[in-house]
Structure 1
Amino acid sequence: MAKIKPFKAVRPTRDKVALVSSKSYETYPEDELIAKLAFNPFTFLHVVNPGYKYHKQDVTGEKRFKLVHNRYLEFKENEIFTEEQTPALYVYQKKSATHSFSGIIAGTSTEDYHNDVIKIHERTLKQRELMFENYLKNTGFNAEPVLLTYRENDVVNEIIEKYKSQRAEYEFTSSDKDLHLLWVINEQEDIDALINAFDKINTLYIADGHHRTTSSCILAKNLASENPNHTGNEDYNFFMSYLLSDNQVSIYEFNRFIKDLNGLTPDEFLIELDTYFRIENRGQELYKPKEKHHFSMYLKGEFYALYLRKSGYEFTDELSELDAEILFRTVLKPILGIDDIRDDSKIIYSQDKSDGLELKTKVDSGDFKVSFGMLPTTISELETIVDKGLVMPPKTTYIEPKLRSALTIYEIL
């Protein structure tokens, strides 16, 4: 049963929220990042890029994390941030031209992660886990919620709609033309109803934020061992999440781009592919798959349609039916020699929300020899694979919504 917790969020004052909140630091091109830091004194990017104040962009490691903490304290001291007076939950809605997402921001339990109530769909890297754990320990806060999804619940829906009918605490449009709205749930009756509703939900699925989740759990375990008065109710036993029903999650595919053909000529490579696929040369005609187990490929200036020969491939479990896994088992590993698709420098990934022309342009640039596209994984496939205790290949899903930093901040320490 899923455990959620209201918390006293630290958040921007209403008049500054549009200036403070930001996308994830890593998503900004360098020129845009520099412009925001130069012309917006309120952006949260000043907190996560603390060296800018001293004209030093090369501050790294623990020294940088401590400076992040100091910049955060300055934002609080300058009353850019204010702290909720009583613990609350939050309704957050994000609207674009094509999608609308509405969910609950809450504290979620590290114990639920260890007890397999909160489930993963991909593996994490130990080095990144420890880096994030060190970041959280030094900064003392979490500014970007983990995206968790669950099977739709009527009680949760009703409370979300109740608050959406009221005036929002925040309502602003970001520069990417998305509308953001936030409501504070501080009525105890509604808080209790949500806690009880999630207590009846068996599983929460991590949609985005595996490393942040694992790092929060590592930190909680370490702090518990250092605290002789540990009770399990301390703030460090929870991490901030955005809980969104699975029927609202949008999933896009990742394209695969390969730098070499493992010593094969294009013609030799096509012959190798023929073992597993029926191949159609589409020439300059852009091809995008319309069915599972169909793949698009761009090679030497031409598009190809690849249709899996089911007589030559064995479906053994739900994971083996996943298109990203099929591509790995039939092409990437046996033909192209890519054993570790997480770390091999010969392969890169790019999310596909466009018309598919990226398959062509990256290869035509000369940086890659071949590219592959496929249909996006469905939320049903993700849930089934996770429920079976299986793990998806890396870069199988690009999941939206992507959440902004510093709309609500959860203080761990």
Structure 2
Amino acid sequence: MADIKPFPCIRPREDVAHRIAALPYDVYNREEAKKEVIKESLSFLKIDRAETGLADSVDIYDDKVYEKAKETLNSMIEEGLFITEEMECYYVYELIMNGRSQTGLTACCSIDDYQNNIIKKHENTREEKELDRIRHVDTCNAQTGPIFLAYRSNDVIQKVIDKTKEKEAVYDFTSPDAITHRVWRIDDKSHITAIRTAFHEIGDIYIADGHHRAASAVKVGLKRREEAGGYTKEDEFNYFLSVLFPEDQLMILPYNRVVKDLNNHTVEEFLDKISEHFTIIPKGTDKVTPEQKGDFGMYLQGIWYKLEVKEHIKNNLDPVESLDVSILQKHLLSKILGIRDPRTDKRIDFIGGIRGLTELEERVHTDMEVAFSMYPTSISELFSVSDAGLLMPPKSTWFEPKLRSGLFIHKL
């Protein structure tokens, strides 16, 4: 049973929310983040990427960066740019991209549920990536970027959300990337009880995006427990900030691949080796967007090919081995191109589906040799892998639209 609780939120003042809300910290490199803060002086990147307010000579992991984040957050709260809710509430968060809407619930999840695998993972985390957010959360004494979670649809929760959306929104704005963001507050005690009870009955929750943020938040919570000596279940450090979406509202985009060379094969040798496991169909200059599981697009020397998985490797019932990303990795990227570990191999790069197929062509014409377009991993596949206690290959899913940081802050 999942413990999904309301919380006393720190959130932007209504008239500045559209200026404060920012894409997640890890979407930008240092230079890009600095440009965003110059362009919008209230951007939450001032806090999430506090090195933007320091000299370029300061290392991004220097203690000064985390102290700057804390100082900036507290200053903006003191200036009245953020307001602090006294009541524990849930928040309905709707995002609309290209006319398509998805609506989630902003709440706090239990670190014990994470520890006990009620909140399920499908990716490994790397300690060095966790450390940055551990220091950020611990120094700021706040969680500033929500974890993107998914759950199996529930009528009780959906009815409360739909009813809440009939009211006037707390926030309603469109960000520069043309995503509309709307937020409503759930402060009715009967609705809060109904939601919390429904999540108790749902059970499993799944991390869709934000594995490192989740792991970092949990480690800070465990650190705070140890420091406190004694604690109660209601202490805020026992919970981490999340937005939870029902499975039927989520859209996963493909995570495409580009590779630097053909591993010393000629084009003819490369195509011949591919034909052992894939049927190759030349498509000329027509871009190939895979329309079903088991199909891939390949762009090589100005020509697009459709690759269809042959039957002898198609019917694997293992939830990880049957993923398209696994099939491509095992039977082509590793076996033919020699890319054994896509996490560390510098010859491969990954392109989010939001960038389209033109981006793949451009990379092949500049710094890469071959590109592969993928059919997106489904949410049911993500659930199956997580339920089996297994892990997906890296870069298996790309979720859009991205949640904004700075709209909801959870103080520890």
| 3-state SS of paired residue (2:245) | strand
Distance 1:126 1:140 in 2: 20
Aligned runs of 1:224-303 on 2, under 5 Å? 224-303=225-304
Contact 2:314 2:322 survives alignment (8 Å): no
Partner of 1:116: 117
TM superposition shift of 1:35: 5.1
Distance 2:250 2:107 in 1: 18
TM superposition shift of 1:105: 0.4
Question: 1:357-388: CA deviations, max 9, x gaps?
Answer: 333221122x1111111211111121122212
Evaluate the alpha carbon distance shift between residue 409 and residue 389 of structure 1 in structure 2; reply closer, same or farther with a 3 A threshold: same
Bigger mean CA offset, 372-381 vs 222-231: 222-231
Partner of 2:157: 156
Partner of 1:220: 221
Bigger mean CA offset, 188-197 vs 285-294: 285-294
How high is the TM-score relative to the length of structure 2? Answer: 0.94
Bigger mean CA offset, 21-30 vs 348-357: 21-30
- Structure 1: segments with no counterpart, 5+ residues: none
Contact 1:42 1:80 survives alignment (8 Å): no
Partner of 2:408: 408
Aligned runs of 1:62-81 on 2, under 5 Å? 62-81=63-82
Distance 2:39 2:286 in 1: 45
How high is the TM-score relative to the length of structure 1? Answer: 0.94
Bigger mean CA offset, 203-212 vs 299-308: 299-308
TM superposition shift of 1:52: 4.3
| 3-state SS of paired residue (2:202) | coil
| 3-state SS of paired residue (1:372) | strand
Distance 1:122 1:333 in 2: 20
Aligned runs of 1:4-403 on 2, under 5 Å? 4-27=4-27, 33-34=33-34, 36-38=36-38, 40-56=40-56, 58-61=58-61, 62-311=63-312, 315-353=316-354, 355-365=356-366, 367-403=367-403
| 3-state SS of paired residue (2:112) | helix
Bigger mean CA offset, 284-293 vs 113-122: 284-293
The number of residues matched between the two structures is 411
| 3-state SS of paired residue (1:319) | coil
Distance 1:204 1:283 in 2: 44
Moved runs in structure 1, 4+ residues, more than 6 A? 29-32
Distance 1:70 1:151 in 2: 40
Contact 2:34 2:52 survives alignment (8 Å): no
Contact 1:297 1:359 survives alignment (8 Å): no
- Structure 2: segments with no counterpart, 5+ residues: none
Evaluate the alpha carbon distance shift between residue 50 and residue 57 of structure 1 in structure 2; reply closer, same or farther with a 3 A threshold: farther
Distance 1:152 1:169 in 2: 25
Distance 2:193 2:65 in 1: 39
Match of 2:374, as an amino acid? Answer: M
TM superposition shift of 1:266: 1.6
Evaluate the alpha carbon distance shift between residue 57 and residue 89 of structure 1 in structure 2; reply closer, same or farther with a 3 A threshold: farther
